[in-house]
Structures are given as C-alpha cells and as structure tokens.
Structure 1
C-alpha cells in the first residue's frame, strides 16, 4: 500500500522537511539553553550583590537563586469552590441541556446522528397516539 509515485514523492519531501526543520529546532534549543544559563548567572550575580549590600546586618535565606529577607511559610491549600449552578442538567435521550444546547464534546456527525434518533423517537411516540 502507498506505493504510488505521488506518495513516494510526498514521503521524500517530508524527509527533506524533517531534516531542514530539525536543524532549525536544534538551533532554537541551543539558543534557549544559552539564554537560561545567562539568566541564571545574572540571578546569581544579583544575589551576590544583594548579599554584599546587606552584609551581616540582616539574616537572609537563599531559595534557589532568589534572595528573601522573610522566612518562608508553606502555602496553605485553598478549598476549591464549586459552583453548583454551573452543573448542567441534561436529558439523556435528547442530550440537550436546559438551554437546548448539545454538549461541547459532540462533533457534527454525532449531532446529526443524535438529531435523527430524537426525530425517530418523536415519530414513534406520535404514531402510538
């Protein structure tokens, strides 16, 4: 399968693109690493300058590369507030919520199928009456 001239050509071109974009990506990654090293070294220099300015007059802590004059307190986990009004109520047969909207995850094909099912159910219900 996939032995046509067109598919072979496309594969060949994709391989060439892979090489070209691989070089560009490698260059970007190397630049990013260099920039982060520069930032870290600047951060360490700033810490040293701060330490020389403050001297022994104030107690300071080093946390990573950031200097702080306050003691660190552990963060308290906050309770997540869940709004009960945001929960949608759906009819399981029609998949519609109270506003007449279908769920976000439903794609177009699934919507058409669901609408056809609902239409069939309505038709059946009307025939029984």
Structure 2
C-alpha cells in the first residue's frame, strides 16, 4: 500500500512503477480476501464480523488506489489531493481493522489452548 501511494504522490508518477506496485498490492489483497473467506467459512463465529471488516477496509482502499492510478494514466489530477487524503484515511482504517482482527484472533487462540 505504502509503495503504491508513494509512487502516486509524485506530480508525474512513473506509470510502469505504479502499475508494478499496484499488481503487487492486488495480489496481496487477493490473498487477504481468500484468507478472510477461509476464516468466515471455517473459523469461529466470533471472528466473522472482524474478518469482514478487514476485507471491507481492504476493498475500500483498493478502490481509491485504482482510481488514483487510472487518473494518473489519464493525466487527470482534478481529484488527486482529495483521493490521496481518502487513501491515507482508508489505509489508517485498514490498519485499525487488522489490529482488531489480531486481538480477536489472539483471544480465540488463547481460549483454545
């Protein structure tokens, strides 16, 4: 996430670099969503909501990052400042949701031992 946002911050982003970082981010985001599906389907019910919040936060950030990249390719900077601020906020939310998931998972693992 940070690499994509850093690449997009430039006034004239290097689009091949942006595209490569986005490909890496999307691959990782897909892994997160697959793992979330496993937890939702096979994990304890107590982790379903917190897992869904992580997946939703990841999707929300991905949406803004794709829009930033699409606009950079098109040379459209009209929403760049607004979208960068939104991306930073959504990144913060994602980190919070991941932290909440870790705490909830630790509670489940601790109770299972």
TM-score normalised according to structure 1 size: 0.29
Q: Which has the higher strand share?
A: 1
Asked which structure has the greater RCO (Cα within 8 Å, sep 6+), the reply is: 2
TM-score normalised according to structure 2 size: 0.33
Q: Which has the higher helix share?
A: 2
Structure with higher Rg: it is 1
